[in-house]
Structure 1
């Protein structure tokens, strides 16, 4: 284990610049989630269910847009792709804070469809800027900055809503993200490997042929999709489902323990565990596979259901949090290592959609389990599904290893969770 890797990463100008800029691109996501909820139940005088519908619509829109905008990144480059969000988002978010509920719902859907693909862009710049031996550390560094953003975002959202009101807070936090996107457009970092003299908005793309030179079908699955990548996306979906189950289960548990006032602190400790896990995972010399990380995440999630008081619950939740970010990082690293760099934007978009859909499916499912057997239900359901699907990934990968090799273009490795 060596933390020197992170120091080496920080010395790379493109890495340092995109990590800081990425933080400002992402903070508006968790901040606006809090602000919009407070706005719907406050000034708009609607129910929490209606506030949840806004979040669901946004999640679905972002799940649709991520692969689409990721593909545009691959074909058109960064600057041309960002022109769409930069044309739509300022209009949508400048109007949204001042309208009624139904127009807000429509504007949030439009904004979600044109959300800046920050996760894809940051990770592509990171992977392009580092050597093969630094890939996992780079993705872990990105996960650390993401956790920092999702820890700071809700705090900023609550403070903004308290001091300026929800409408002005929504406007300001979204314009912070838009300003960061403008800076990104001006800096225009390269997102693919190649000649440094070629700007990212001049990356050639041929939709008719694959990287191996074989024709690409305009219909059917994309050329990069194979059983190994599909399994890794399933693992990503499952990890996201576990995380939303833990999220809802934590709220229910603190209410059951009659310690609701401590909820923010407990959630912050959980996020801290995820941050520390990403930090250590990236510093390891040998990295466990996605299936192993999913087993550890699932097992510690089930273990949390055996907590007997707020202290034991927080300790077990911290332990489970330790495997949150590393599980998603392991899956993403395995996926990006085994697809051509020319389609990384689209692939990362699908990875983001798997996370979003996992949350969308996990929320009502975990809620049903909590209603049925109490707060423990969310942890047992999420962790149990994680263990089952991790076992399925591991068994299927072993059985299909040879066919998976054969399905890939020459020179590519089979993207198995064991890698």
Structure 2
């Protein structure tokens, strides 16, 4: 482990600016989500279930828009994608705080469809701005910055909603987020390297070279990824399911969805556990400890000397979640939940890093859009699954069930990668096209 690995990454101006801008954009985003719930409950006099429907409408819209907005980034660029989004956001959030419940759902969904794809944009900038061997470190910094914004945003949102009228708080917060998006539009950071543009227009020779690499070089590439070595971004590996989505890419998306399934289930279970301990007032600082564990884990992973398979990290994340069910009071619960957070950021970082190595640069916007949709889908599944388990077995079962699901999926991914490997002496074409593609799921 070498903490000095962060020095050249932070010395890179593009990376440093992306990290700072990401933090400034995400803080009002997290704050706005909390204020929206409090606005529905307090100002509109609705139930928490009805507030959840507003959030669900926005979340589904964001998930649907992810691949579409990412594809626009790839095809027409940042400014032409973000510009119309900013206009829609201003219109929606200038009106939404002052309307009734039903129109609010519509405005929240419309704003979600045209959300500025900040996660996709900033991660593309970070990936583009650093050498391949610094990618994991840079993405780990981004995950850590996200954790910091997640720790700060909800606290600021609660303060604004309790200090001001929730309508004005929602307006100020969402327009602050739009202003941050306008800064992103103004700066207009480059999303892809110059070499990719040249390669895209180079004609049929490039295609032939990629086919040869697909058939011959995949095994060595997979080994390089596993060892954390730098590898060229040559193109999608294995037989495509749809466009750039190959079996290894689909496997990483599944891991991403499962990671947020575990995390969203844990989130619900934390609230249920602390209510059971009659320590509802401790929810805020316990969640902060969970985020702090993830922050530390992300920084250590970024300083580590190699990458790990996303399935190993997912396995560790899920396995460390189950022991939280053994807590007998707030002190032991706080310790166990902090430990369970340690692999949150590394797992998310690994999904982005490994996707960036499997998918050509010209598809990275859409790649990140699908990544966001996969994580949103996992979150949408994890919370109700944990809630059902809690209702029928107590708060402990919330942790146990999502942990078990994570372990099973991670184990299936690891077993699949092992079975997919062929004997070293095999030279059959089917081994090149299918076995190696399956093996790279682990990397």
TM-score, normalised by the number of residues in structure 2: 0.87
TM-superposed CA distance for 1:284, in Å, is 0.0
Q: Which has the higher helix share?
A: 2
Question: Does structure 1 residue 5 correspond to structure 2 residue 16?
Answer: no
Measured after TM superposition, the shift of residue 221 of structure 1 is: 4.7
CA shift at 1:257, angstroms?
0.7
Structure 2 equivalent of residue 331 of structure 1: 351
Kindly provide the CA deviation profile for residues 360-394 of structure 1, in whole angstroms up to 9, marking residues without a partner as x.
Answer: 11111110000011011110011000000001111
Structure 1 residue aligned with 2:433: 406
Of 224, 247, 261, the match for 1:241: 261
Q: What residue in structure 1 maps to residue 379 of structure 2?
A: 359
- Tell me how far apart the structure 2 counterparts of residues 348 and 60 of structure 1 sit (CA, whole Å): 16
| Whole-angstrom CA distance in 2 between matches of 1:48 and 1:33 | 13
- Higher Rg of the two aligned structures: 2
| Separation in 2, partners of 1:212, 1:327 | 33
| Aligned partners of 2:356 and 2:364 also within 8 Å | yes
Q: Secondary structure at the match of 1:192?
A: coil
Conserved 8 A contact 1:128-1:193: yes
User: Compared with structure 1, are the counterparts of its residues 176 and 397 closer, same or farther at alpha carbon in structure 2 (3 Å cutoff)?
Assistant: same
Change (3 A) 1:205 1:65: farther
Tell me if structure 1 keeps the 8 A contact 2:160–2:169: yes
1:144 aligns with 2:144: yes
Residue equivalent to 2:230: none
The answer to whether the 8 A contact 1:228-1:397 is kept is no
- Shift in CA distance, 222/248, structure 1 to aligned 2, threshold 3 Å: same
- CA shift in 2, pair 1:81/1:211, >3 Å: farther
1:406 to partner: Cα distance: 2.0
Question: Kindly tell me: are residues 40 and 210 of structure 1, through their superposed partners in 2, closer, same or farther at Cα, counting changes over 3 Å?
Answer: farther
Number of equivalences:
406
Say if 2:194 is the partner of 1:194. Answer: yes
Distance across 2 between alignment mates of 1:361 and 1:246: 12
Q: Which residue of 2 aligns with 1:16?
A: 16
> Residue 252 of structure 2 contacts residue 310 of structure 2 at CA under 8 Å; is this kept in 1?
yes
Structure 1: unaligned runs, 5 residues or longer:
215-219
Structure-2 separation of matches of 1:272 and 1:83: 35
Q: CA deviation at 1:293?
A: 0.6
**Partners of 1:76 and 1:204 within 8 A in 2:** no
Q: Alpha-carbon deviations, 1:300-339, whole Å to 9, x = none? A: 1111111111111111110010011111111221111111
Check the 8 A contact 1:338/1:415 in 2, yes or no.
Answer: no
Contact conserved, 1:140 with 1:278, CA < 8 A, in 2? yes
5+ residue gaps, structure 2, are 211-239, 423-429
Cα distance per residue 1:282-313 (max 9 Å; x no partner): 00002221111111111111111111111111
Q: Write the distance in 2 (CA, Å) between the matches of 1:79 and 1:21.
A: 16
In structure 2, relative to structure 1, the CA distance for the partners of 1:171 and 1:407 (3 Å cut) is farther
